[in-house]
Structure 1
């Protein structure tokens, strides 16, 4: 098959990681694989296999006709059979489908605010969905929503997967004391609820002042990120909470940390949890989206926005390191056997073939 993944950026987010991983794994499975980023490149650019066909559109504005034409030319030249559009790239993909009706179009829904999907602004999406040949949802909630709200007749739930990471080296040394680092891998967005995590870490600090918290994720330089910085200063945490920004060496960072947290108030199926598992980390996650399903008892789950519960879970791992190591090992095995690339690509190939 000749397939192109389309994503609007290569920032280090969950949807972006999945687009790159699918492109790489389809290539490994013997398909002609391509990837298009529409608006901007980012830290994931170096992780694309050099044999994957690649195009950057540099799309500007809402329509970006010049960029659309550039993509159409690429699709025709490479005899692309399937467009696999991720998240907000559906509009670009729909225009190409409109120009080239014989192309099969799959839309991949990674919506991270699944708990509030009923309030989703989907007017344009609903209109475009009549051109979709199939929809992939990352959890059952999103699958049900797509079946009820969108036009496509073929909708499946296909949970995210994780590829085995190549050995990485840290770009720069990490702050904090070795053996006493907590990591949170998430872009600085409201649904990731960094504030509950900061409050919980403040409680942890009172008993364990030598531990550090590393926040890894893109800073969008908006009010949310500025409030995070202000809170760190106001709570006198600036020597122990470190904003590392978006990094392309996340696998190395995870392998040099000791406890992994995901404090979201809403999720789809977070790729970060799978990466935590591959790094053999003890994990704490909130019970939102597919987090509980992913952990499957191999980590600690807590209610969202519950500061004391989150703090207690972190302290439990700190005070019981042997138990933490056992949980980390069992979760790693669970991720490898349940969320591996091989079975995912087989299911994806089967779905493609039905279109």
Structure 2
């Protein structure tokens, strides 16, 4: 098999991280593994393995003929037979397929909010789906939505996977007291719902017991992030809640923390939870998307309704109160993730799914 992953950017989002991970992992398993960024590069560029063929299209508009023909040339030259396109990058691949009918397109949906949307809101996707050979999804709600709304009926659930890094960068050193650091790994944007965790931190007065909260993720310097900054300042929490922006040394950052949180109002299959697990963090997570399948409440983590502020406070209080409970959660969650969402298991399933359309 000769397969290329296509993604709009290499910024540090969940879909972007998985596109890079698939390309890197497949390079060890198949004849040719490539990765194409259509619109923007980013911090994930440095994580692409040397044995992965990489191309940046520099696409500047929806129908960019220069980018389309550059992609077509790359596919022909490298004899690519499957384009595995992630999230919103499907349209570029469809335009190329119009000139290369034998090219098979697999569209991979990572967008947790899609089940709330209509066919009308996804008109271009619905039309493009005539040209898909298969659809991959990251949770069962997305599977049902695709089966009900799109023209391609070969829909497969493919979980995200965790991979263990033995060597990693050590650049970011967190503020705060060791053993009392809470990390929130998510770009500062909707629907990540950071504010509910900030409010719970304030209302429980965790700063008075030397706990600290660390927000890791891209800051778009917009109304969303300004709201968080204003909240921190108005509550005099600058010494206990810290924003670091987009970082590459995630494993090193997580190794300095005790608790990992995720509070999204919509999710697909968050890679963040798997990253928390591999570092043995006690996890407190929203119950949306596939989160409640990954986490068994009170055994491998604590779940909450992201719209229930009192429930969030109760769970946060429970997890900060007992170190032994945190250790139990972290150890159980790590074992569960390694058992069910390892790189080897997921890549085997991925390759089996590829073979069903070739």
- TM class, shorter-length: over 0.9
| CA–CA separation in structure 2 for the residues paired with 1:69 and 1:147 | 32
* Partner residue, 1:260: 260
| CA–CA separation in structure 1 for the residues paired with 2:65 and 2:228 | 38
| CA–CA separation in structure 2 for the residues paired with 1:280 and 1:80 | 39
Q: SS at 1:107's partner residue?
A: strand
Which stretch shows the higher mean deviation, 21-30 or 118-127?
Answer: 118-127
Q: SS at 1:95's partner residue?
A: helix
4+ runs of 1 displaced by more than 3 Å? 117-120, 206-209
- The one of 335, 345, 348 equivalent to 1:346 is 348
Q: Report the CA distance between 1:205 and its aligned residue.
A: 2.6
Note the residue ranges of structure 1 that are not aligned, 5 or more in a row.
none
Would you say how many aligned residue pairs link Structure 1 and Structure 2? Answer: 355
- Superposition map of 1:9-88 within 5 A: 9-88=9-88
Specify whether residues 267 and 114 from structure 1 end up closer, same or farther in structure 2 by C-alpha distance, changes over 3 A only: farther
Which stretch shows the higher mean deviation, 189-198 or 312-321?
Answer: 312-321
- The one of 323, 326, 340 equivalent to 1:324 is 326
- The answer to whether the 8 A contact 1:115-1:266 is kept is no
Note the residue ranges of structure 2 that are not aligned, 5 or more in a row.
none
| CA–CA separation in structure 2 for the residues paired with 1:82 and 1:229 | 44
| CA–CA separation in structure 1 for the residues paired with 2:166 and 2:8 | 25
- The one of 312, 315, 330 equivalent to 2:314 is 312
Which stretch shows the higher mean deviation, 180-189 or 61-70?
Answer: 61-70
TM-score (norm 2): 0.96
Q: SS at 1:44's partner residue?
A: helix
State yes or no: 1:188 paired with 2:188: yes
- The answer to whether the 8 A contact 2:2-2:30 is kept is no
Q: Report the CA distance between 1:163 and its aligned residue.
A: 1.7
- Superposition map of 1:1-355 within 5 A: 1-114=1-114, 116-118=116-118, 121-206=121-206, 208-297=208-297, 298-355=300-357
CA RMSD in angstroms, aligned pairs only? 1.5
Q: SS at 1:142's partner residue?
A: helix
- The answer to whether the 8 A contact 1:117-1:142 is kept is no
| CA–CA separation in structure 2 for the residues paired with 1:37 and 1:207 | 42
| CA–CA separation in structure 2 for the residues paired with 1:308 and 1:208 | 20
Q: Report the CA distance between 1:189 and its aligned residue.
A: 1.5
Q: SS at 2:220's partner residue?
A: coil
| CA–CA separation in structure 2 for the residues paired with 1:242 and 1:5 | 35
- The answer to whether the 8 A contact 2:115-2:145 is kept is no
- The answer to whether the 8 A contact 1:21-1:162 is kept is no
- The answer to whether the 8 A contact 1:112-1:266 is kept is yes
1:128-184 deviations in Å (ceiling 9; x for gaps): 110000000111110001011111121111111112224323213212122111001
1:207-235 deviations in Å (ceiling 9; x for gaps): 74411111111112222122222222122
| CA–CA separation in structure 2 for the residues paired with 1:311 and 1:321 | 17
